[in-house]
């Protein structure tokens, strides 16, 4: 019986040391977001453009009666390259600081389980150049490097105000 309890404790300890992430791609780069922030992942939803919206706002979607702003993550992160529009875009619907927001990405890969110890801080030179410090860390995976994003810091205060204005209209 003691052996069984020890095994259960080992499993719980191992789970506590793992991060569960939803992996997604923008171009060739793979990113990850904490799975607990993800409300759902959707496709084939028409996006309605908003006049005079900031460049990184793709528009809004109607998701079961809720109007949700959609941010083009490629544009917001200033990742060069053109999104291939032959496939329907993927929208990660996230709860960011109590606000439901959609983020347009090229594709979604899989749920990843990463040991906390495998995550390294981003290089100082990278973080210093970012306005909002939204890169949490970097880790090595089978297919290269995975960049962990802190979606609570993706938008600056001024941009959050603009999103609120869009939601009110």
Counting Cα atoms < 13 Å in the Cβ hemisphere of 83 gives: 18
Confidence at residue 126, expressed as pLDDT on a 0 to 100 scale: 57
- Return averaged pLDDT per consecutive 10 residues of the chain, 169 residues in all: 52 68 91 94 91 87 92 86 66 89 92 90 64 78 86 74 63
Q: What are phi and psi of 151, to 5 degrees?
A: -70, -15
Contacts of 155 (CB under 8 A, 6+ apart): 71, 76, 96, 132, 163
User: What sign for the dihedral angle of Cα 104, 105, 107, 110?
Assistant: negative
Confidence at residue 131, expressed as pLDDT on a 0 to 100 scale: 54
Torsion of CA 101, 16, 111, 140, to 10 degrees: 100
CATH class of 2-168: mainly beta
Confidence at residue 48, expressed as pLDDT on a 0 to 100 scale: 92
**Could you state, in order of their start, the residue ranges of all structural domains in the chain?**
2-168
DSSP 120: B
Confidence at residue 52, expressed as pLDDT on a 0 to 100 scale: 84
Q: For the segment 102-145, what is each residue's pLDDT rounded down to a tens digit?
A: 999 999 988 999 998 888 887 766 555 555 478 888 888 887 88
Joined together, the tokens standing for residue 150 give 């802190």
Joined together, the tokens standing for residue 143 give 């297919």
Radius of gyration of the chain (CA): 18
Confidence at residue 152, expressed as pLDDT on a 0 to 100 scale: 85
């Amino acid at each position: 019986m003691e052996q069984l309890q020890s095994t259960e404790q080992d499993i719980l300890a191992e789970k506590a040391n793992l991060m569960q992430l939803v992996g997604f791609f923008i171009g060739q780069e793979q990113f990850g977001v904490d799975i607990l922030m993800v409300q759902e992942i959707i496709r084939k939803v028409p996006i309605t453009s908003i006049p005079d919206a900031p460049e990184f706002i793709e528009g809004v979607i109607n998701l079961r009666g809720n109007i949700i702003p959609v941010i083009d993550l490629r544009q917001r992160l200033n990742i060069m390259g053109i999104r291939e529009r032959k496939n329907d875009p993927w929208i990660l619907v996230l709860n960011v600081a109590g606000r439901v927001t959609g983020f347009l990405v090229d594709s979604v890969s899989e749920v990843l389980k990463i040991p906390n110890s495998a995550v390294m801080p981003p290089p100082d030179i990278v973080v210093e150049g970012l306005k909002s410090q939204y890169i949490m860390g970097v880790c090595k995976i089978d297919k290269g490097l995975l960049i962990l994003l802190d979606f609570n810091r993706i938008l600056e205060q001024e941009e959050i105000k603009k999103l609120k204005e869009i939601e009110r209209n």
